[in-house]
A and B are shown apart, each in its own frame.
Chain A
Amino acid sequence: MIRLKDVTKIYPNGTVALQKINLEIEERDFIYVTGESGAGKTTLLRLIHLDEAPTRGTVLYNEKPITKSFKIHNWRRKVQLAYQDFMLIEDRTVFDNITLPLQIKGESFSSIFDKAETVLNTLSLRDKMHKLVKELSGGEKQRVTLGRAVISNPEILLLDEPLGNLDKETAQIIMDFVEAVNEQGVTIVMSTHHMVSRERSAPKKIIKLKNGRLISKGYV
């Protein structure tokens, strides 16, 4: 589905974020990207989301290179990224933020309300739907970010440290939700420091980055 071929990313200040990464992401995969801070996890997700372009190497989708000629907005409707720093519109309501991807696609009112209700209920945000995002706690914002990323049913969901700074209970809610989304056929790539998983959940791939290099691949 997505293949990174010898991908290197060097930032203008000379920081080498990724070095010769070779990685294959198959349909319905659930991949944990682990590593210490500064290992290159976020850069990897941003490269797949086309927020960044690789300095060297290629990112391929169905064996076709993703280049600048790609219509970025179409790609980002397929590949949603839930950012570590949320990237929400602070002075709009939870409902507004969560339904934005559906508004962009021009879905009907009834479809938007139905999908929003499902997502808000699953993420325990139903009672917060009319609150402004700036009035929410960090954990609630994390759930809104996740809700916005999944509501449009993307092919690939990229999650950047979705469990960072969350209490165990909220982390579990989010993991349950993400695994349920994966079971519905959505490919998940999730960068994380720590893994929380349901009992008897399907096996997941895990890759480890260190100083921008892919040092191990395996399953958990």
Chain B
Amino acid sequence: MYRLFYILRQGGLLLKESKKAVLISIIFLTIGFVAIGSSYIVGERLFASSLSLKSKVNITVFFKNNAEESDIKQSIDEIKAIDGVKSVEIIDKAQAKNNFLKLFPQYASLVNSLEQNPFPYTLKIWISNLELGENIKNLIITFPTVDSVVFSKDVAEKINNLTHMLWFLFVFIFIAVLAEFIFISQSITSLLVDLRHSDIKVLNLIGADRAFIHTPFLIVIFVSVTFSWLISIFVLKKVDLWSVEIVKSLLPFAEYSASINAAALYGKLFIFGILISWIGAIMPLRRVR
């Protein structure tokens, strides 16, 4: 227990002797924390919103008005069996008419005056993978009972692109921050090792083991990471608030999740910061003899 106290004291002395270097590392580590935390928060919100939007994208099949109902039902069974079709919703002619009149009640007298119901038998299809949408559409159009098929390809493509871009961006930022943390902790430790080179030599000569020599440097890194993490939490709370507006402007018709699990995110960021920085710090410490 006493030994732990002395090691902590050595860490404290090292920290006192290297205030400026620690301060600079805190600034850069904070930037890293904010970068990765912000990209996660905005990315998570965008991803959740794009999923809600994705669920709205479907293929709409309009059957021919003169097609027999039995043929239409057979076609529906065949469509259901197509690979990639997740679920379907059948809207018969009466339902289609009601839906139209709900939206445009001003045309009620006109529609009711017609001898035949002009609205076609309709089928809405949700698919498991938006990339299959175009193929499924091209297949369905060949059915003899089908009049036309509508698939909102643009929306599907935009959502797919957005999801890919989010992943790419997050992975890029993650790698950049990973490299930054390793670089900063490696540089600061190298600097401190150079500064305290003669002390390390003395400690070695009087029988200090690696734990006694190395741990103070790891304590300095721990303190730097903790301070930058605390500062970044303050910034990330603001980013969390602003991110809702950012997502709304990017995906205006999506549904928005109220909040992300901030405590879990901050916890993960802290563990990430400490582990990666220690890995960076151990590299120059391994050279200490």
Do A76 and B2 touch (CB < 8 A)? no
Among the stretches B33-41, B167-175, B206-214, B272-280, the one at the interface with A is B206-214
Given contacts A106-B2, A107-B2, A109-B2, is CB(A89)–CB(B202) below 8 Å? yes
Q: Bound complex: CA of A107 vs CA of B3, how far in Å?
A: 7
By the criterion CB–CB under 8 Å, are B2 and A108 in contact?
Answer: yes
Q: Which chain A residues lie closer than 8 Å to B106 at the CB level? A: none
Docked-complex contact B212 and A104, CB < 8 angstroms:
yes
**Chain B interface bracket (under 10, 10 to 19, 20 to 34, 35 or more):** 20 to 34
B245 at the interface (CB under 8 A from A): no
Decide if B2 touches A80 in the complex (CB within 8 Å): no
Tell me, yes or no, whether B6 is within 8 Å of chain A by CB.
Answer: yes
In the complex, the answer to whether B201 meets A87 with C-beta atoms within 8 Å is yes
> A104 to B208, Cβ gap below 8 A?
yes
How near does chain A come to B62, taking the closest CB pair, in angstroms?
83
Digit string of A79-93 for contact with B (CB within 8 Å is 1, else 0)?
011010001111110
Q: Are B3 and A106 in contact (CB under 8 A)?
A: yes
Distance from A99 Cβ to chain B, minimum over Cβ atoms (Å) = 9
Known contacts: A88-B202, A89-B199. The answer to whether A76 contacts B6 by CB under 8 A is no
The reply to whether B203 and A104 contact each other, CB–CB distance below 8 Å, is: yes
Does residue B114 face the partner (Cβ distance < 8 Å to A)? no
Q: How far is the CB of A133 from chain B (nearest CB, A)?
A: 11
Q: Is the CB of B209 within 8 A of A104?
A: yes
A148 to chain B: which residues have CB within 8 Å? 206
- Is the pair B202, A76 in contact by a Cβ cutoff of 8 Å? no
Among B2, B202, B212, contact of A87 (Cβ-Cβ < 8 Å): B202
For residue B135, CB closer than 8 A to chain A, the reply is: no
Residues of A within 8 A of B204 (CB): 73, 76
Closest Cβ–Cβ distance, residue B12 to chain A (whole Å) = 12
Task: Tell me the bound Cα distance from A160 to B77 in angstroms.
Answer: 98
- Taking a contact as CB atoms under 8 Å apart, the answer to whether A100 and B206 are in contact is yes
Hey, which chain A residues are within 8 Å of B6, CB to CB?
103-104, 106
Are B207 and A87 in contact (CB-based, < 8 A)? no
Partner of B207 from A51, A73, A90 at Cβ < 8 Å: A73
Does any Cβ of A come within 8 Å of B198's Cβ?
yes
**Is B263 in contact with chain A by the CB < 8 A criterion?**
no
CA distance A80 to B205 in the complex (A): 8
Minimum CB distance partner of B208 in chain A: A104
Residue on A nearest B6 in the bound complex, by CB? A103
Shortest beta-carbon distance, A78 to chain B, in Å? 8
Chain B nearest CB, measured from A145 CB (Å): 10
Q: Is A15 an interface residue (CB 8 A)?
A: no
Please give, as numbers and ranges, the residues of chain B lying within 8 Å of A87 by CB-CB distance.
Answer: 201-202, 205
A74 to B212, CA, bound (A): 13
Instruction: Knowing A87-B201, A89-B199, say if A80 contacts B3 (CB, 8 Å).
Output: no
CB nearest neighbor in B for A105: B3
Is A101 an interface position by the 8 A CB rule?
Answer: yes
**A151 shortest CB reach to chain B, Å:** 10
A57 to B13, CA, bound (A): 42
Q: Is the CB of B3 within 8 A of A73?
A: no
How long is the Cα–Cα vector from A80 to B204 in the complex, in angstroms?
11
Query: With A and B bound together, what is the CA distance between A109 and B3 in angstroms?
Result: 10
CA A101 – CA B204 in complex, angstroms?
A: 10
Tell me, in angstroms, the Cα distance from A108 to B3 when the chains sit together.
8
- In the complex, which of the residues B13, B198, B207 contacts A101, with contact meaning CB atoms closer than 8 Å? B207
Convert B1-25 into 0s and 1s, putting 1 for each residue whose CB lies closer than 8 angstroms to a CB of A: 1110010011001000100000000
Q: A73-B208, A76-B205, A104-B212 are in contact. List 11 more A-B contacts (CB 8 A).
A: A73-B204, A76-B206, A77-B207, A100-B203, A101-B206, A103-B6, A103-B212, A104-B203, A105-B3, A108-B2, A149-B206
Q: Could you jot down 28 A-B contacts, CB within 8 Å? A: A51-B205, A74-B207, A75-B207, A76-B206, A77-B207, A87-B201, A88-B202, A89-B198, A89-B199, A89-B202, A90-B198, A92-B13, A100-B202, A100-B206, A101-B207, A103-B9, A103-B212, A104-B203, A104-B206, A104-B207, A104-B209, A104-B212, A106-B1, A106-B3, A107-B2, A108-B2, A109-B2, A152-B207
**Chain B positions near chain A (C-beta within 8 angstroms):** 1-3, 6, 9-10, 13, 17, 198-199, 201-210, 212
Please give the residue numbers on chain A whose beta carbons come within 8 Å of chain B beta carbons, in ascending order: 49, 51, 73-77, 80-81, 83, 87-92, 100-101, 103-109, 148-149, 152
The 7 A-B pairs of least Cβ separation, nearest first, read A106-B3, A76-B207, A77-B207, A103-B6, A73-B209, A104-B208, A73-B207
